[in-house]
Amino acid sequence: MTRESRHLMGAVAGLAALVPVYYLTEAGAKALRMGAAEGGPAPVGLACLAAVAVLVAVLSAWPAAAVTCGVPLFSAGALFAVDADAALGVAATLPWEGLAWDGLPSAELAEPPGTLAGLTGLYTLIGALLVLSALLPARWRSILSA
């Protein structure tokens, strides 16, 4: 396999992982918020964020995938930080109803998908971690990169 084809496969994998990372992060944040509001545990939120952590760990082993997924996430988080109204307008155009998984919190009408995770800085953090992981020397990355 050539170097170019590995980079192309990494870019495709990063783009494919972007949707699950985006929506699982939002579902996890909403489940944690609901658990905190009810004064109880939120195992669904923990499970969603654990799934995001696994995806990020796998992507961080592949620099092309990490950058392709991390840059849009970081950009979304930066947009929420700089201009929340514009970010909410963009998030309102994203589909949510077709992506609701059983047991996960769905979006309210007044809250587009990605709002909570964007406003709390989760997308910025995850995106920055992915991009920074791609900048690390190969010997510091995961054993999965071999």
Quote the CA–CA distance of 137 and 43 in Å, as a whole number: 36
**29-73 pLDDT, tens digit each:** 988 888 888 888 889 889 999 999 999 999 988 899 999 999 999
Quote the CA–CA distance of 62 and 69 in Å, as a whole number: 11
Angle of helix 63-82 relative to helix 43-60, nearest 10 degrees, comes to 130
pLDDT confidence band for 14 (50 / 70 / 90): very high
- The pTM (predicted TM-score) of the whole model is 0.83
- The pLDDT of residue 146: 47
pLDDT beyond 70 at 142: no
- The pLDDT of residue 101: 52
**121-131 pLDDT, tens digit each:** 999 999 999 99
What are the structural domain ranges in the chain? 3-145
Task: Judge contact between 121 and 87, C-beta under 8 A.
Answer: no
- The pLDDT of residue 141: 57
Contacts with 87 (C-beta within 8 Å, 6 or more apart), sequence order: 76, 79, 80, 114, 118
Residue of 130, 132, 22 whose CA lies nearest to 80: 22
- The pLDDT of residue 17: 94
